[in-house]
Amino acid sequence: MIGDGAIGLMFVGVLAHRGAQVILWGGSDHRLRLGQQLGAVQTYNHHHCDMLALTRAATEGRGADIVIEATGVPTVWETAIACARPGATVNLFGGCPRDSQITVNTDQLHYSELTLKGVFHNTPQFVREALDLLAQEVLPFEALLTDCQPLAALGQVFADMRDRKTIKAIIQPHEPLANSL
């Protein structure tokens, strides 16, 4: 799993809950610790190591069976593909900026028989399944709620999420009443 944002961390929780051995790559030690709480068996800060070399070392040189990319950074898409073993599936979940391009090693893609999947789904069925999972409260996703702000601060909340100061925020529609009963 590449990406320690809210979506990447939710992927970790769901995959680990379903029995996958998840290795999480991210850029924030705090978020990587949350990934461990959600079930990641190993976490690595990409700022301090070589993702491809460590993936190869952790898999006896094979590469990962499944790679999920949830950053939306074109160079990370390329790294995700490079980390895959022959026959692997690479889920390119993170949406890159419009008109981004990547370079793919055609030899690896063809001869290693990789499956690359671009994914963008929000069908009613998937929304229902996601809401059902949240309602069951089997995963500690409340750990992703790292801020609580009034609706008037929504602009700042979005800026804090963009700047990775906040993972997810609870938005209160009204200011609390000072003398409410």
CA angle 39, 54, 58 (to 5 degrees): 60
* Residue 114: how many other CB atoms lie within 10 Å: 20
* φ/ψ (deg, to 5) at 2: -115, 115
Chain-centre distance of CA 19, in angstroms? 17
Separation of alpha carbons 51 and 139, rounded Å: 27
pTM: 0.88
Give the whole-angstrom CA distance, residue 11 versus residue 123.
18
pLDDT per residue over 68-109, tens digit each?
999 999 999 999 999 999 999 999 999 999 999 999 999 999
Average pLDDT, the chain: 93
Angle between helices 51-58 and 74-82 (to 10 degrees): 30
State the average pLDDT over residues 18-47: 96
Mean pLDDT score, 119-126: 82
Higher confidence at residue 175 or residue 144?
A: 144
Every domain of the chain and the residues it spans: 6-118, 146-181
d(CA 1, CA 134): 21
Neighbour count for residue 84 (Cβ, 10 Å): 23
23 has pLDDT over 70: yes
Half-sphere exposure of 81 (CA within 13 A, CB side): 23
- Alpha carbon 137 to its chain centroid, in Å, reads 19
The predicted structure's pLDDT at residue 181: 47
User: What percent of the chain lies above the pLDDT cut of 70?
Assistant: 96
Q: What is the pLDDT of residues 130-140, one digit of tens each?
A: 899 989 999 99
C-alpha 84, offset from chain centre: 17
Percent of the chain at pLDDT > 90 equals 87
105: closest CA among 125, 126, 78, 80? 78
- Topology of domain 6-118, CATH: Rossmann fold (3.40.50)
Q: Which long-range contacts (CB under 8 A, 24 or more apart) does 126-133 make?
A: 133/14
